[in-house]
Structure 1
Amino acid sequence: MILSRRWRLSHLSLYRRLMIWLLCPLALLVAIMLLQAWLASREASDRAFDRLLDAASLSIAEQVRWQQSRLWMDLPPSALEMLATDAEERVFYALYDAQGHFVTGNRSLPSLPAVANDQMSYGDVMSHGMSLRLGVRRSRLEGWDRSDRFEVRVAQTREGRQALANQLFLASFINIVIIAGLAMVVVLLSARFALEPLTRLRRAIRQRNPRTLAPLELALPRELAELRQALNELLARMRRVRANQERFIGDASHQLRTPLAGLSARAELALRQTDPAIWRAGLVTLHGTATKTARLAGQLLSLTRLNNPEATPAKHPVNLAALAQRCVRESFSRHHRRGVDLGVEIPDRPVMVSATEWQLEEALNNLIENASLYGADQITVQVIDAPARLTVVDNGPGIPESQRLLVLRPFHRGQEAGDGSGLGLAIVDSIARAHDIRLNLHPANPDHSERPGLCISLTFPADAR
């Protein structure tokens, strides 16, 4: 239930989300103000009527006398008339002596706890099923011969108080509603104007040509300027990716066009001949060119597959020693026919890493094939345990230091004399980056100036073990 509610909120527009976050606290604040106004109106009503109770009880207390050996009073009509209002509430009074005995009055009333300095005490009581506001005044006779204490209790029903409280609350309610309405209008307009730059940004993005990757040039506030900068950085990366793709497509087209044109020309030339020996020579040439073209097409597909950001193959435990043995065994006969001495050196125990097996196999096959195509006649595949490392060492002409970074680019060939396509090391570099492997190229025999050889090592990170 909570997840579905969050999902619904996340799909609201930014304007509605902003309205919710602004108007909900505003509604809560209005509710608090209304509650406070209601309590304040009741307090003000009680305070006003309590003063009337105080004045009425004082007027009654002034009429208390000692007569015929007991307390007595002659109640003036004005003492109770001051408590009468248009609400027609009922008024009760009573006189009690110091012992709490009822002396006179129109109804017996309960007592209230005494307060300091004999001040007037007030309280809400229930009497005969009616809710009353009771006021008790404690006083004494002010004569030269007697000073007996007594209590004057005056009570009033709550109709007048409630009517006054409702009137005060209604006035406050109208003021609060007007202020809340104005505040809501201000919030709506402010949010609309505050989100106007975002609307301009949305329109600018929608009106752009889908084919253009030019940066956005739009004056925006600081927060949206950061978003614009992030979009421009994304567009810059997309421009670089598109440029790389266009360059790759151009190079691939050029690389495939040349052997395909050679195949067509060689076949056309062979068809003009009648000598079977010439036909055989042409077929041998066609076979070699077709083999190179097939290998080039396979490498192009591999490089495209590796550079696909959406493809994230799962990694599994791979035994580097078994992988090296399998790759050398599968390619041994082919390289032996070329006169290449291919060998493998592995430790006694398995060397396990977490990787994608087919990618490591592709990298190792490209390293072996690349060394063979560029003149090496001795190739050794080595597996090292600590740290986990896969190394291919050859005795070929090597790669100059100035070319070691360039040969990692697609279609860049370190030597024009070789039969390679310039994709082998680019594929190895893509696989190394996908596995966080450190790729290192250095001479195998630096003391030999003519044929220093090449040692290419793939060092796995510690967390890959």
Structure 2
Amino acid sequence: MPDLIRRLEMTSLTARVALGVAVLLVIGGVIVSIAAFAYGREAARSAFDRLLLGAAHDIASAITVQDGKPVIELPVSAFELLAFAPDDRIGYRIIGPDGTTLTGYEEIALPENRRDLRDGYFDGAFFGEPARYAIVSRRLAERTLNGTIRVIVGQTVLARNSMAYDITRKALYVLAVSGLAMILLAVVVVRSVLTPLERIAGSLSARDPHDLTPMDTDVPRETAVMINALNGFMARLDRQMNSMRHLISDTAHQLRTPVAALRAQADLFSDEVDLSRKEKIVERIQTRSAGLGRLLDQMLSQALVIHRGDSARRERVDLRDIALDVFEEGDHAVLNPEMDVVLDIGENPVEMLADAPSLKEALKNLLSNALKHGRAPVRIGASLNDGKAVIWVEDAGEGPDRQTLDELGSRFNRGGLARQASSGLGLAIAHSVAVSFDGELVLERTDRERFRAALLFEAAPVRAA
């Protein structure tokens, strides 16, 4: 059964709809057949019962009394009524007041529940064949004869069954024709419904491989859902491609100057014979290597943040855990061992929906900026402020210059290595994380004359107790 379901799911929509309609028609055909046969049998019974009753009344009305005895002359009209069913056998029985059979077939037996011989109908047998009987009573009140004579007229049921089958057959013919029309109509409707999808497929096939612009949403409402999802996917893919192109371009540009400087210092070192100058060259090489390493770390960090901002699944994150993880990793002890870092978190959760690794990268870069460009003491923490989940870094410095703030959020500028290795790139990374999760990066002076870099996000709904 599961294999059959999988095969059906892999077939075309047209075939699946046609098959579904066919199954419904088969089920409906069975139901209609039963209903039509029941209706046909009831209609045939009603029609032929009237004929039997009419024949019985004709015979009963023809009974007379002569010399104290009933005289029976069977009217031709009674049997002419029953001649409408030429293939059926006819039987009759006339019972006198004393219960004896005056004429007819004594083999016609009365059912046990009709001992009182009330007028009406009953089913029985006529020489082994199923038959239907009508019984009519006539009260005789003569001086010489007083009592009730009962006339029983019966007929086999071949014509009745034939009529019921004929009604059922005609109903099935109508159902078959209408069912075929429904299947054809369903196929036409499905084909017309799939026309927008075929247009979309043709449009995608004809597109340039590098064209990731949104598709036209002027389509039926049901198809627009798919188009919007496809446009969203292409927008995310376009951002990823742009990020990759920018990373490659910026990496090539940013690494060209420091690598050339390292090469020049290495050439100077190989040509220099004075030991004191060689030591100075080695110090410059070490300084440039360290700066280059920090630049590479930040560039890779930004690439990671941009990638995860589009692809990572958003989960409930407690910003206190982010601050605690960054503090316990102890990067500040390596970057600036002489500067104290204080962790400031409360007891209440500070939760939001985001990607934890991206938040850690942002906080690390804010902390790195504070350690390199701020003044002690440095504090990191998380808190809830007016429905906002906030994670922040504070120091006693003045903060970045106006040019760095103006360029915040843009891709790497074409400035020198020294400026790029400073706070601008770290703030750009934090800004990218804020934008990715519908937040903002706020740089401000606090009431205590301290500089604070904070990431503000919408707080997650409080969990039910």
Query: Is the TM value for this pair above 0.5?
Result: yes
Task: Report 1:8-407 matches (<5 A).
Answer: 10-76=9-75, 79-80=78-79, 82-84=81-83, 88-97=87-96, 102-107=101-106, 108-110=108-110, 121-126=120-125, 129-141=128-140, 148-217=147-216, 220-225=219-224, 227-306=226-305, 307-308=307-308, 309-311=310-312, 323=325, 326-327=328-329, 331-332=332-333, 334-336=335-337, 341-344=339-342, 346=344, 362-374=361-373, 376-383=374-381, 391-399=392-400, 404=405, 406-407=407-408
Quick one: distance in 2 between partners of 1:177 and 1:159? 26
Segments of 5+ residues of structure 2 without an aligned counterpart are none
Quick one: distance in 2 between partners of 1:389 and 1:216? 38
**TM-score if structure 1 supplies the norm length?**
0.77
Please say if residues 319 and 350 of structure 1, whose CA atoms lie closer than 8 Å, have aligned partners that are also in contact. Answer: no
Task: Calculate percent identity across the aligned residue pairs.
Answer: 27
How many positions carry a matched residue from both structures?
Answer: 450
**TM-score if structure 2 supplies the norm length?**
0.77
1:271 alignment partner AA? S
Task: Report 1:402-413 matches (<5 A).
Answer: 404=405, 406-411=407-412
> What residue in structure 2 maps to residue 454 of structure 1?
451
The structural deviation recorded for 1:293 is: 1.2
Q: RMSD of the TM alignment (CA)?
A: 4.4
Indicate the structure whose relative CO is greater, using CA pairs within 8 Å and at least 6 residues apart: 2
Please say if residues 408 and 431 of structure 2, whose CA atoms lie closer than 8 Å, have aligned partners that are also in contact. Answer: no
Q: Tell me which moved more, 78-87 or 420-429.
A: 78-87
Report Cα offsets for 1:325-350 as digits up to 9, x if no partner: 5355x5336524xxx53342557x87
Quick one: distance in 1 between partners of 2:202 and 2:343? 63
Please say if residues 64 and 73 of structure 1, whose CA atoms lie closer than 8 Å, have aligned partners that are also in contact. Answer: yes
The structural deviation recorded for 1:154 is: 0.9
SS at 1:422's partner residue? helix
SS at 1:122's partner residue? strand
Instruction: Return closer, same or farther for 1:350/1:434 CA change in 2, 3 Å cut-off.
Output: farther
Segments of 5+ residues of structure 1 without an aligned counterpart are 448-452
Quick one: distance in 2 between partners of 1:300 and 1:6? 50
> What residue in structure 2 maps to residue 420 of structure 1?
422
Please say if residues 90 and 156 of structure 1, whose CA atoms lie closer than 8 Å, have aligned partners that are also in contact. Answer: yes
Instruction: Return closer, same or farther for 1:235/1:319 CA change in 2, 3 Å cut-off.
Output: closer
The structural deviation recorded for 1:11 is: 4.0
Please say if residues 350 and 383 of structure 2, whose CA atoms lie closer than 8 Å, have aligned partners that are also in contact. Answer: no
Report Cα offsets for 1:225-279 as digits up to 9, x if no partner: 5544553454345434433442343223322222112212222233333222222
